[in-house]
Structure 1
Amino acid sequence: MPILAQLDGQPHRVYVQVKPVLHGSDPTRHALVLFIEGDVIDPSAGPAERVDGHPPSTQAVRQLQEELQLAQSRLRATREESEAATEELRAANEELQSMNEEYRSTAEELETSKEELQSINEELQTVNNELKLKLESVSRAHSDLQNLMSATDVATLFLNPSLRIKRFTPRLMEIFNVTQNDEGRPITDFTHHLKYDGLAEDARSVLENLAPIEREIKSNDNGWYLVRMRPYRTIDDKIDGVVATFVDISERRHAEAAVRESEQRLDQEMRLVELSRSPIFVWDFDDGIKQWNRGSEELDGYSREEALGKQKEQLLKTAVPGSSFDKLRKTLLETGRWSGELHHTTKDGQVLTVESQIELVPLGDRRLVLESTRDITDRKRWERRRQLLLNELSHRVKNTLAVVQSLARQTLRTTHSSEDFVQRFEGRLDALAGAHKLLVDSEWSGAELGALALSQLEAHTGTDGRRLQIEGEPVMLTPDIATPFGLVLHELATNAAKYGAFATADGQVSLRWKVGNKDRRLAVTWEERGGPPVESPAEQGFGGVLIEKSLPGATVHRDFRPDGVVCTIEIKLPESPQNGAES
């Protein structure tokens, strides 16, 4: 709206415009008043306006006055707005200064943050390098694990908590019908070659109880597997499934079965050894006796408790004929076995000759010796006795033939007819044969004096036992004495039958003997009674010589009494009767 205003002494039109002003979300209402300077009013164009602003009476003046008023209002509003804008600019300047300070502080903080970021970046680079090294280590470990799983001879199965396959080794494909593409599928979907229906139940039990399970399972082809199930634990000690291994133990089971069978056989053999009467024992080459059976107890007299732990050579006083026990041990070390004769001393002191079979058996770091013995003491005694008997027989045959030759010559020399020679020679041969029979019956160990007397005299007594009285303790005569003693008794009986007590029906003969001087001296008395009167012979015949001279080392005395002949014989006996063998 134009108003009239006096500017620089001239009237001007001033246009006043008022507009509302809004400052963002500020609820305060403002108005912008603009005063726009117009053109100069020409005074000649009409009646001049009054300077005080009152409208002229005309319409034009009134209009100009209104415009002037409007222009003044706008100018006033513009001045106020300018002042307000100046204040706002001043406030804005202060705010900008404050923001500049904040920006400067922010710049400093950003500089600090930049340095921190550089430090963090360096740390991240270090961490990145470490992670690269760890990644390489994990990669190598993964590669090693892959190669280990490929190269291992143990079938291994990894299951997740829902019993789905996570991973397995190639060997598992020999037991389960699975392929590499079956990872992630439930293990219960696959068949296997094991007689193991409780596999899934055992896996669930391991997950529930967190306790390992171990079983020996037989396969369909008669093989055996050792199945071990354990919880799968992560690095954080969390349970994330089950690990099952299947180890082929077929060879071990077969070996165990063979060992059990061998142990049973060994136990049976040990029982047989224990029950055997054959002496068998085991001793340690570097230690004492370890086994001692019943046969050893019976042979050597030592009980098991007395023998175990003792040194064999000390317990039995082992002697090796013609060698030594040290050489025997050396032979065992060189060849592993030894056989031959040994001398063992029993608990009661008796020395036995045994035939021994010895074998050295290494057992780990121990060296055990198995020894089987057989008592050959009696056999050796019989062998010596047999040899002695053979030697004695050879000697006796020679002596007997010599005696027979001497009997024949002497009998022939003292007889006057062939009939008398035959009778005398046959009688003497019968006496010699009777003595030899007793020796043979005793296996040439000797002849008992009473039995020898009966064999030579009972033919002269008949059924009348009163005609012969024999009295004396049992005495064993050696073969060297028994043979000539039989001939002496035969000659005494023959003379009694011809000239003495046996020549009459009432005649009696008493034969007595006793042993004195600690069983070393034998005194024998032959006494005749009830026969015809006796006279001393004018000359001594062969029979008398045989009586007095045939017994070696004996003292023989004959007394020709009128009522009967008395003959005394004293002979020295050996310390012990010779029986043809060593005791």
Structure 2
Amino acid sequence: MTNRVEVPNFPRALTPQAAAERQPDQQDSGPDAAAREARCNGAALRLALEIGKLGSFERDLVTNEMTANATCKAHLGLAPNEPLTFELLKRLQHPGDTERINQAVTYALATKSDFNVEHRVVRPDGYIGRILVRGTPIFEGGRPVRLVGVTQDVTERERAREELKDAQRRQDFLLKLSDQLRNAQDPFAIMEATAQSIGQLLKADCVGYGEVDDDRGIVLVEREWSRGAISNEGRAYRLQEFLHGMIDDSKDGQTLAIADIATDPRTGSPALQSFYSTINARAVLTVPLLKNGHITAILYVTSSAPRAWSHEDLSLVEDVAERTWTAVEKLRAQRNLHETEFRFHTFTRALPGFAWIATPDLELIYYVNEQSWFEFSGLSREQTLGHGWLSIIHPEDLARVMEDSKNATDDVIEGEMRYRSADGTYHWHAVRVGSLCDSDGTFKGKIGTSINIHNLKETEAALRKSEERLALAQRAARIGVFDWDVASGAISWTAEQEHMFGIELGSFEGNYEGWSSRVHPADVAAFEKNFREAIARNEQELPFAYRVPLADRSFRHIEGRMMILYGPDGSPARIIGVNIDVTKHKHAEERQQLLIRELHHRVKNTLATVQAIVGSTARTASSIDEFYQGFVGRIVSLARTHNLLTEDLWQKAALEDLVQTELGPYEDEARNRIAIDGPHVELPSEAAVPIGMAIHELTTNAAKHGALSTFGGQVEVSWRIVQAERAMLQFTWVERGGPRVSTPTRQGFGSRLLQRVLATQLQADVAMEFPEEGLRFSMTMPIPGDPPLFNPDK
């Protein structure tokens, strides 16, 4: 700062009367003395001017000619040898001060007094200086003829004063900002207030904060103050647009200062020129804010006109940016902490249990959700802290917990424990426990949570029972259930569904192909056709039926119904259905149809047989009585055979039963009249009826004419199975002890039945012999196979 030198006062304006009144020194008189005094005064004045760095000037008010010393010219920015004219002087005076200068001079001339005016000068190099001018008018004959005066360059003094005022203003700004930051509760309010304060202090056009998304390479303008109508708040810009070519410098924390966007080589590209023109910026000051070496935010100041940013401007903005962002981060951290604590307490209050911290010997030192814990356990905080909480843990669980708590482990231990409630019952809790260590890794204890899962346990038990009941019901009813997630293609089956398909439990592939590959191809095609048609009609239920081929080449018949659930787009989203094993029902239906057909066949055959019996009996009978007896006997035999057939579920009759039915009435244990021997053989209806009638004819003949007609006669019936290319039945009827036998001269009904019907219907080889001791009858025939419809389970 330049020391201020007081400009000496000029003598009052001199007039002839004032000059005449002046008295010469008593020791000096005459012209020489006056000249000598003038030279001394001039020398003293020049010395005073040089010491005080004062300039002097003189202006002839009549001709406006001017003279000035080198110091005065230097104050005006002129070279020492450069002439000074009144016109040049007026051009050098700052336009804003011209009127005030003229008023001061005019007043001095009017009042014959000194003038003292401080004003700005615009030097030829464009630099604006400030000078203090003190002068006085010289009068002759009452008329002003000259102005004389001195000048003092006060530019540095005023700059120092402005710097002091500016420093004070900035200090006041920072103090006020500190108060705002200290009392602020909203980070965005801090940004907004700071931007406005900087803009008004620096007389800028726009100030704003932008947060940087380094991954996306953008700057999001969070808050902005703008003097004009343009605002960028809420917009996102590419980082390259803000810091083109200077990102590396910004990452080092260097402030970006551009005095003129139009002339700075760093912003010479047309794209950048266009960008800064869009935001009405001609001068830019950008301060990057770093965190862990990454730009997290920027504070920017722009001016719509070129501006040379001073060192003080940079220091102020950098200081404010750091202070503000620290306050913003602090408020955000506090807000996040508050929100975290709020969420934590909200979460713990909602827990059906509590969270806790305990020492290595399980001395409880901290827990949350106190009210919930008290309502469950009945223990107050004082009763819970320390080792009191252990008193409600089930003894069996406590021993295990005490053992596990002694050691530190990096793993989180999960388990279940029983806690005694206030009413004395034990409730299961899900427990998660981890080790608590300090920053040095020293084991300090355990931290954990205990969640009441008592209701869950009861629900799980009830669910298990319900699932067991449902599984048993499904197994008993042979009902399988499937669930098809159409989007993923995943299909789940119940155990009974897998059992129904004859596969091992858990071996189903879980997809559509796993089902379709196990179903008869014709049924798969039919199902898919019906399914597509149901979807086209937007139906919600679809019945279906299909066959499952089994290993024994039989089929399992399945019927079911599915529920189709549609998604928002109208396509099937989920399908749930049941499968019912109806194989037995199918076989029952088939048997019923068979029985109906068999009944028709039997009735027709029976009527034909009765007709034949009538005809044959009539031809051989000699009287009505003989006809009646023969006819009734044969009809009764036919009825007995039918009874045997219908009593059996599969329409078969045992050969032994046919023999016993006819010969049973003649059995006499005392005389051993009947001997029957042979394995168990079942005959289907088409074989049982003719064989039964043949046995009836043999029995009737023996009772009338053969072994059973006398007291000592015997009948031996035997049969056996001979294995050849196919099983053969060998049947033999031998009579002994009856009347003498001779070969008959004609064939009756019985003979024709034995020789023709058996041979024709059963492909039997029949032989009848008539030795004197008794009739011998033999028959060899293939054993008929069981019709498939009679034996569907085989």
- Tell me the TM-score range normalised by the shorter chain: 0.5 to 0.7
Q: Distance in 2 between matches of 1:525 and 1:340?
A: 56
Separation (CA, whole Å) in 2 of partners of 1:400 and 1:528: 30
| Aligned-partner Cα distance in 2 for 1:117–1:347 | 112
Change (3 A) 1:391 1:513: same
- Residue of structure 1 equivalent to 2:535: 333
Q: Does the CA-based 8 Å contact 1:288-1:308 persist in structure 2?
A: no
Question: Measured at CA, do residues 345 and 207 of structure 1 come closer, stay the same or move farther in structure 2, by a change above 3 Å?
Answer: closer
Change beyond 3 A, Cα 1:289–1:384: farther
Counterpart residue number, 2:769: 559
CA deviations over 1:76-114 (Å, ceiling 9, x no partner): 699999967753441213333652244433333953699
CA pair 486-355 structure 1, distance change in 2 beyond 3 A: same
What are the residue-to-residue correspondences of 1:208-357 with 2, within 5 Å?
211=340, 213-214=342-343, 274-275=471-472, 276-277=474-475, 278-283=479-484, 290-310=491-511, 311-320=513-522, 324-335=526-537, 336=539, 337-346=541-550, 349-357=553-561
In the alignment, is the contact (CA less than 8 A) between 1:445 and 1:578 conserved in 2? no
RMSD of equivalent CA atoms: 4.6
Superposed counterparts of 1:92-103, under 5 Å? 92-96=45-49, 98-100=53-55, 101-103=70-72
**1:436-486 CA-partner distances (Å, limit 9, x unpaired):** 001111135221211222122212214559332322222221111111111
* Alpha-carbon distance, 1:301 to partner: 1.4
Aligned-residue offset at 1:390: 1.0
Report the alpha carbon displacement of residue 559 of structure 1 after superposing the two structures with TM.
0.8
1:107 aligns with 2:76: yes
2:737 to 530, 547, 555: 530
| Bigger CA radius of gyration | 1
Aligned residues: 409
Mapped to 2, the partners of 1:455 and 1:496 lie a distance apart of 15
**Equivalent residue letter for 2:596:** L
Cα deviation 1:242-262 (Å, max 9, x = unaligned): xxxxxxxxxxxxxxxxxx9xx
Q: Structure 2 matches for 1:87-486, cutoff 5 A?
A: 87-96=40-49, 98-100=53-55, 101-108=70-77, 111=122, 115=126, 128-130=204-206, 134-135=226-227, 211=340, 213-214=342-343, 274-275=471-472, 276-277=474-475, 278-283=479-484, 290-310=491-511, 311-320=513-522, 324-335=526-537, 336=539, 337-346=541-550, 349-362=553-566, 367-443=573-649, 445-463=651-669, 466-486=672-692
CA contact (8 A) 1:525 1:569 kept: yes
C-alpha contact 1:477 1:577 (8 A) present in aligned 2 = no
State the match for 2:84 in structure 1.
none
In structure 1, the partner of 2:27 is: 75
- Looking at structure 2, the residues matched to 350 and 288 of structure 1 have their Cα atoms a distance apart, in angstroms, of 30
Quick one: distance in 2 between partners of 1:72 and 1:568? 199
Structure 2 length-normalised TM: 0.44
Determine if contact 1:470/1:512 at 8 Å carries over to the other structure. yes
2:673 is equivalent to residue 544 of structure 1? no
Amino acid of the residue matched to residue 27 of structure 2? L
Partner SS for 1:561:
coil
Select between 385-394 and 564-573 the one with higher mean Cα deviation. 564-573
Q: Distance in 2 between matches of 1:521 and 1:456?
A: 23
The CA distance in 2 between the partners of 1:465 and 1:217, in whole Å, is 105
For residues 366 and 445 of structure 1, what CA distance do their matches in structure 2 show?
A: 50
C-alpha deviation, 1:582, in angstroms:
5.0
Per-residue deviation, residues 137-177 of structure 1 (Å, max 9, x unmatched)? 798969xxxxxxxxxxxxxxxxxxxxxxxxxxxxxxxxxxx
Does the 8 Å contact 2:205/2:227 carry over to 1?
no
Paired amino acid for 2:482? F
Other structure's SS at 2:716 match: strand
Structure 1 residues 567 and 366: alpha-carbon distance in aligned structure 2, compared to 1, 3 A threshold: same
Amino acid in the other structure paired with 1:280? V
| Deviations 1:502-533 (CA, angstroms, capped at 9, x unpaired) | 22344332222223324443221111223333
The answer on whether the counterparts of 1:381 and 1:581 sit within 8 Å (CA) in structure 2 is no
Taking the aligned partners of 1:328 and 1:213, their CA distance within structure 2 comes to: 58
What amino acid is aligned across from residue 99 of structure 1 in structure 2? L
The alignment partner of 1:214 has SS state of helix
Quote how far apart the aligned CAs of 1:492 are: 0.7
Partners of 1:459 and 1:549 lie apart in 2 by: 28
Identity of aligned residues (%): 25
TM-score (ref. length: structure 1): 0.59
Query: Aligned partners of 2:469, 2:531: CA distance in 1, in Å?
Result: 28
SS of residue matched to 1:526: strand
Query: How far, CA to CA, are the matches of 2:725 and 2:779 in structure 1?
Result: 18
1:198-250: CA deviation from partner (whole Å, max 9, x where unpaired): xxxxx9996876745337989xxxxx9xxxxxxxxxxxxxxxxxxxxxxxxxx
Q: CA deviation at 1:73?
A: 10
Q: d(CA) in 2 for partners of 1:431 and 1:315?
A: 55
1:336-376 residue CA offsets vs partner (Å, 9 max, x unmatched)? 45324311224665312222323443457874433322222
| SS across alignment from 2:776 | strand
| Residue pair 1:283, 1:370 contacting (<8 A) in 2 also | yes
Partner of 1:568: 778
Residues 83 and 112 of structure 1, relative CA distance in 2, 3 Å threshold: closer
The higher relative CO (CA closer than 8 Å, separation ≥ 6) is in 1
SS at match of 1:523: strand
Distance 1:514 1:472 in 2: 6
Write the distance in 2 (CA, Å) between the matches of 1:579 and 1:377.
14
Note the C-alpha offset of 1:292.
0.9
Correspondence for 2:705: 499
Q: Is the 8 Å Cα contact of residues 668 and 674 (structure 2) preserved in structure 1?
A: no
2 CA distance for matches of 1:498 and 1:389?
A: 38
Q: Is the 8 A contact 1:432 1:486 kept in 2?
A: yes
